[in-house]
Chains A and B, each alone.
Chain A
Amino acid sequence: MSTIEERRLVLPGDLVVEGEGYELGANVYRDGVKIYSQVIGLASIVDNKVSVTALKGVYIPKRGDIVVGIVREVGITRWLIDINSPYQGVLPAVDVIGRKFSTDKIDLKDYLKVGDVIVARVVSFDRTTDAILTVDGKGLGRVDNGRLEYITPTKIPRLIGKKGSMINLIKKESGCNITIGKNGVILIEGPSRELEELVAELVKKIDREAHVPGLTDRVAEILRSSMKGGQV
């Protein structure tokens, strides 16, 4: 069986491929020898693995993912974090304070308030518990500068590009520091508000046009023309 990557648009219930020996990838299901799509997306078969890249979807936490979240509630021993997902994030206080503490002497509001933005890593998540987060690590913790932009979580691979081609291009040309939360929240920190705005527009464009070929070229073109246009 050959390896084909056709990137065909399929809908729920559409037959992707029929035959034996295929492996099931993301967003497909099998009924006998027939493999169908579960979602609207682009179908591909690589090394006999059939999968559909969804064009829309929610973020499901995965261990090790870097996410950008917003503090939603301050508790006595933990913060609840909105991670743009059906499941909420929990950040234990020990993680930030780093030692044993007594809850009547320490007020968590002094560390993180409602509305604060944090970059965190998912430590654990399963079907029965909420996502446990940590801010212990390089580049993690509270964020004080920059702006947020949202993208459909399923389109993050497109924003990164092959071997980071897309994101590196944007970072290099705009000079902005970009943190991609796997949950579809993008943190953009740049030298000026205009540049941050430009990157945010590009993120929106990638979200909208992820299924149209030639996207990297179009993004490069916009970056080139707006950087030359003296926006800096």
Chain B
Amino acid sequence: MSEFTRRDGRKPDELRPIKMKVGVLDKADGSAYVEQGGTKVLVAVYGPREVHPRHLGLPESAIVRCRYHMAPFSTKERKSPTPTRREIELSKVIKEALASTIMLDLYPRTTIDIFVEVLQADGGTRCAGITAASLALAHAGIPMIDLVSACAVGKWNGRIIVDLTGEEDEECEADMPVALMPSLERVTLIQLNGRLTPDEFLEAFNLAVKACKYIGELQKATLRSYYEKIKEEVLYEQ
């Protein structure tokens, strides 16, 4: 087998370097920042809080509202700040990928608002957005059955690869974002653009599950270290 390399020199099953941080915004109830290679996403979560306008509230459960938005400076060409059709669709997709884990029936007549802001786009922004939003929800103390971790897989030059860059995304034969609850191993989102054979699909899906679980471990470590850091600081002062 000849050596297969991607444009950035990664192996097919190699993720880009990931950075995560929670508690980056003071005014939001929960917040998180995720960097995955050249993709940078900031998420703020508010809630549960009163619904405005009131008629949107549901008598038996909380509602989730989500805004996925790309900053005008997130791409090479200036992106108009007006939400595009794509952004409106992604808002819905992200909302649904997260809502299935939130225990909405605990807070009737309230809303949980999620703001996903893409600061820099280089492929996999919806996945990084879901990963970051899940961190922010956990940081806000919103009851959930599990975290959500997301990662894209795809087919590029005939090979199944993980965590596509923006460039790979443009050239690829297929692209498949997957979101997963890492502890319970349940899928909350799966989309597929392009074509895969059943065998390729299975290979890609398994790779995505592996990647999501790895990202899940990073998320858990990030949340733990947020509280452990306070502990260390306090103990150090003594």
Chain A residues close to B by CB (< 8 Å): 9, 11-15, 27, 29, 31, 36, 38-40, 54-58, 60, 86-88, 127-128, 152, 154, 208-209, 211-212, 218
CB–CB A13/B181 < 8 A: yes
CB–CB B234/A218 < 8 A: yes
Contacts of A154 in B (CB 8 A): 141
CB–CB B139/A56 < 8 A: yes
Contacts of B228 in A (CB 8 A): 9
What size tier do the contact residues of chain B reach? Answer: 35 or more
Contacts of B143 in A (CB 8 A): 12, 27, 38-39
5 contacting pairs across A/B (C-beta < 8 A)? A12-B145, A14-B183, A86-B107, A128-B59, A212-B230
Contacts of B60 in A (CB 8 A): 127
Q: Identify whether the interface residues of A are mostly helix, strand, loop, or mixed.
A: loop
In-complex Cβ contact of B184 among A13, A88, A128, A208 (8 A): A13
Of all chain B residues, which has the CB nearest A153? B141
The residues in B between 151 and 208 inclusive whose CB is less than 8 angstroms from any CB of A are 181-184
The reply to whether the CB of B40 lies closer than 8 angstroms to some CB of chain A is: no
The reply to whether the CB of B223 lies closer than 8 angstroms to some CB of chain A is: yes
In-complex Cβ contact of B147 among A13, A31, A88, A218 (8 A): A13
**A40 and B227 in contact (CB under 8 A), knowing A13-B146, A88-B50, A128-B59?**
yes
A178 to B213, CA, bound (A): 47
The reply to whether the CB of B129 lies closer than 8 angstroms to some CB of chain A is: no
Give per-residue flags for B8-51: 1 if the beta carbon is below 8 A from chain A beta carbons, else 0.
00000000000000000000011000000000000000011110
The reply to whether the CB of B78 lies closer than 8 angstroms to some CB of chain A is: no
B24 to chain A, nearest CB (A): 15
In-complex Cβ contact of B145 among A13, A15, A55, A152 (8 A): A13
CB–CB B108/A56 < 8 A: no
Of all chain B residues, which has the CB nearest A14? B183
A56 to B141, CA, bound (A): 5
B110 to chain A, nearest CB (A): 4
CB–CB B144/A212 < 8 A: no
CB–CB B230/A13 < 8 A: no
Contacts of A9 in B (CB 8 A): 224, 227-228
Contacts of B181 in A (CB 8 A): 13
Contacts of B30 in A (CB 8 A): 56
A88 to B54, CA, bound (A): 13
CB–CB A218/B146 < 8 A: no
